[in-house]
A and B are shown apart, each in its own frame.
Chain A
Amino acid sequence: MGILLDENTRLLVQGITGREGSFHARSCKAYGTNLVAGVTPGKGGQLFDDGVPVFDTVAEAVKQTGANLSLIFVPPPFAPDAIVESADAGVPLIVCITEGIPVLDMIKVDKFLRNKPVRLIGPNCPGLINPGANCKVGIMPGAIHQAGRVGVVSRSGTLTYEAVGQLTSLGIGQSSCVGIGGDPITGTSFIDVLRLYDEDPGTDLVVFIGEIGGTKEQEAAAYIKEGFSKPICALVVGAGAPAGKRMGHAGAIITGESARVESKTAALRDAGAIIIPTPADIGATAEAVLKRLK
């Protein structure tokens, strides 16, 4: 089991002929993902790596190959167009890796996608992976993952790999790992992913990784408190971040008391989450909870 990806996933990569797009399209395919098409306007008719057809438009790619998931590696000025093109072509799941999309553009795209039968993950995210289904749609190193029953959700990219690395080194596999992205406006929220994990019979425990800035962790805490049925281990990073300084993610801005680590950790603890004391204890905390579950 696991969420969002399975053996029916048919991957389309937008920007497949670019430097990042081609490298990661290959890496997804090598992991076992069914890569069926690429899209680069003006390069339709080519073959990527002698086997994957490249199309000029997403609509054509979907029509010819039955692609049902689009992974986007298009530069920031053109990424909003790429997202909307996929939605317009009826692709139900869109994963946007692109970092640095203007926020006012994303507000419009987000509004356009609402109430449509489409889910956007990202932008500015590492993507997602389902090790049990041998399906990877993103930029994470596939080899650190192991199939199992722990769901991971995070705002960050490399910190998600850190969490996964610690789990795998203790022999704890993952049902799925999802990075929702670090921008102020993201298509999928913590709550959306938690809801999917709650419904997934293949997930026993969730590892939740938040960071300073904004109120997304508090919103997630309110949802968890309302009736999330599975145990959850939570880490919030950024305690050492100085107030008022921007720390790389647009979302990682200390905006007020609620944006601080202590406030987020308190909300998650109050909601019943088991707090991971430091970034080095992600695996150990999950291991202890899993032992209690047995």
Chain B
Amino acid sequence: MKIHEYQAKEMFARFGVKIPGGKVARTPQEASRATEEMGGQAVLKSQVHAGGRGNAGGVKVVRSPSEAETVAEQLLGKNLVTRQTDAQGVPVNLLLVEELANIAHESYLAITVDSSFRGTVILASAKGGMDIEEVAAANPEDIYTESIDCSLGLMPFQARRLAVKLGFGPELARPVGQAIGALYRLFIENDCSLVEINPLIATAEGEIVALDAKITLEDDSLFRHADLVELRDKTQEDTLEAQAVDLDISYVTLDGDVGCLVNGAGLAMATLDAAQNAGASPANFLDVGGGATDEKVASAVEIILSDPKVKQVLVNIFGGILRCDIAARGIVLAYGNKNANLPLVVRMLGTNVDEGKAILRDSGLPVTFADTISEAAIAITAAR
């Protein structure tokens, strides 16, 4: 789960990491007033769940409260399209108005889980303030990786080494080490999957400040962080994707017209690949999950049917932990609830397949059965 920069910075402050003075603004008037409080000039930062805001025009420096009002008017209520969003972009409902920093050095710091190391790592680079993916691609040696032992945690010598790799002078080793230690504690205590700061700066006055803040919380750990669940902003999510999250269904909107209902992420990806190879264009990725009930399957099908792009539905269920009869009942239920008659191509195999097929056959729905994944892909293409 992603959270906004201002929310991440509030967490930073609670853990003792310095952040610039700032205020959240919901209207141009609030932005103007906040700029006045910052001393008459400020940076206005669009609060959206996407990176690449700066290049997309979502971050602007203003030199007066009246300029702040004009700029805020241009940003608020509009959608921001960045290289990490789709063509529609994401709505800007909030601005973070921050005081300008006096930057002496910029660095990049991130904490994440590395599956090859099978543990937590801290990434550090002295090249902060620029596109870190470009740095990683062009000069991988400029990014240093410190691997953390989960029982020891971050050791002081590692923090000292990171301070050097971040490019700070020895006189700043202590405050930098404290900041890294605080961020590591924040990462562990809140079950994050990513904490990223670009840039982490030293000011001319010798303070270490997080100018930016990105936190992603691990979805599988949210059950033990009720307070963090509150930070979710559904306006930043695709409407259908947000509905799916609420139902614990993995769903991603795509551009095509074939709605896909599949069980298992691997089979769902394989189904998309096979459909595309046959010339069809999937409207979504959907993994209904293992222990689904017929109600949950029905909700998944209703999400598919709610997408106006969808002209036909491809079902690929390999019954294992999810039984085919449950899947079939869910499909019939959803078609009834939605009063839908979009054609279905159904490929079912595995546990209780005969019951599943019988339920669909007796339902009167416009079902074409396919025996294999390639037959299903061909049938869906033929129906166009």
Task: Tell me if B265 and A249 are in contact (CB < 8 A).
Answer: yes
Chain A stretch 139-156: residues in CB contact (< 8 A) with chain B: 139-141, 144, 154-156
- The docked-state distance in angstroms from the alpha carbon of A168 to that of B381 is 27
Stretch at the interface among A50-58, A94-102, A193-201: A94-102
CB < 8 Å: which of B151, B250, B266 contacts A155?
A: B266
Name the contact of B269 in the complex, choosing from A126, A154, A212 (C-beta under 8 A). A212
- The reply to whether A108 and B374 contact each other, CB–CB distance below 8 Å, is no
B264 A159 Cβ-Cβ under 8 A: yes
Q: Is A256 an interface residue (CB 8 A)?
A: yes
Bits for B200-237, please: 1 = Cβ < 8 Å to A, else 0: 00000000000000000010110110000000000000
Which residues of chain A from 88 to 122 have a CB within 8 Å of any chain B CB? 97, 99-104, 107-108, 110-111
**Is A252 in contact with B265, judged by CB distance below 8 angstroms?**
yes
Q: Which B residues, 329 to 384, have Cβ-Cβ distances below 8 Å to chain A?
A: 349-351, 372-374, 377
Does B287 count as interface, using CB distance less than 8 angstroms?
A: yes
Docked-complex contact B220 and A156, CB < 8 angstroms: no
* A241 touching B116, Cβ below 8 Å: no
Is B15's beta carbon under 8 Å from chain A? no
Report A208-226 CB contacts with B as 1/0, cut-off 8 Å.
0101101110010000000
Query: Which residues of B sit under 8 angstroms from A20, Cβ to Cβ?
Result: 291, 321
Main secondary structure of the interface of B (DSSP, over half): mixed
A149 CA to B228 CA in the complex, in Å? 50
B242 at the interface (CB under 8 A from A): no
Answer yes or no: B118 CB below 8 A from chain A CBs. yes
- Asked whether any CB of chain B lies closer than 8 Å to the CB of A245, the reply is yes
Of B250, B273, B319, which one neighbours A141 at CB under 8 angstroms? B319
Chain B: how many interface residues by the 8 Å CB criterion? 57
Q: Are A237 and B252 in contact (CB under 8 A)?
A: no
The answer on a CB contact under 8 Å between B116 and A219 is: yes
Residue of A nearest to B190 (CB): A104
Distance of A238 from chain B, by nearest CB (Å): 4
**Which residues on B sit within 8 Å (CB–CB) of A162?**
267, 270, 318, 373
**Cβ contact within 8 Å between A158 and B273:** no
Instruction: Establish whether residues A104 and B290, one from each chain, have CB atoms under 8 Å apart when the complex forms.
Output: no
Q: In the complex, A158 Cα to B264 Cα: how many Å?
A: 6
| B5-13, B73-81, B95-103, B274-282 - the one binding chain A | B274-282
Q: Which of A154, A185, A237 contacts B273 (CB 8 A)?
A: A237
Q: B136-164 vs A: 1/0 string, CB under 8 Å? A: 11000000000001110000000000000
> Which chain B residues lie closer than 8 Å to A266 at the CB level?
none
For residue B218, which residues in chain A have a CB less than 8 angstroms away from its CB? 102-104
B168 within 8 A of A: no
Q: Which residues of chain A come closer than 8 Å to B250, judged between CB atoms?
A: 246-248
Interface pair B290/A99, CB less than 8 Å apart: yes
Which residues in chain B, 237-295, are within 8 Å of chain A measured between CB atoms? Answer: 250, 252, 254, 262-277, 282, 285, 287, 289-291
Q: Is A231 an interface residue (CB 8 A)?
A: no
Does A279 make an interface contact (CB < 8 A)? yes
Q: Report chain B residues within 8 Å CB of A215.
A: 115-116
A19-B291, A141-B319 as given contacts; A237 in contact with B269, CB under 8 Å: yes
Is there an interface contact between A248 and B268, defined as CB atoms closer than 8 Å? yes
Over the window 43-65 of chain A, the binary record of Cβ atoms lying under 8 Å from chain B Cβ atoms (1 yes, 0 no) is: 00000000000000000000000
**For residue A237, which residues in chain B have a CB less than 8 angstroms away from its CB?**
266, 269-270, 273
Please report the C-alpha to C-alpha distance between residue A220 and residue B119 in the assembled complex, in whole angstroms.
19
Q: Is A156 touching B115 in the complex (CB atoms < 8 A)?
A: no
Interface code B293-306, partner A: CB below 8 Å = 1, 0 otherwise? Answer: 00000000000000
Q: Which residues of B contact A212 (CB under 8 A)?
A: 269
**Interchain CA distance A215-B115 in the complex, whole Å:** 8
Does the CB pair A247–B150 fall under 8 Å? no
CA distance A141 to B287 in the complex (A): 18
Q: Does B21 contact A (CB under 8 A)?
A: no
Which residues of chain B have a CB within 8 Å of any CB of chain A? 84, 113, 115-116, 118-120, 133, 136-137, 149-151, 188, 191, 193, 218, 220-221, 223-224, 250, 252, 254, 262-277, 282, 285, 287, 289-291, 318-321, 349-351, 372-374, 377
* CB pairs A–B below 8 angstroms (26 shown): A100-B220, A102-B191, A107-B113, A108-B151, A110-B118, A126-B321, A139-B290, A141-B320, A141-B351, A156-B265, A157-B267, A157-B320, A158-B263, A162-B373, A185-B113, A235-B270, A237-B266, A241-B269, A245-B252, A246-B250, A247-B250, A247-B269, A252-B269, A279-B270, A280-B373, A280-B374
**6 closest A-B pairs (Cβ-Cβ)?**
A156-B266, A158-B264, A248-B265, A159-B266, A248-B250, A280-B374
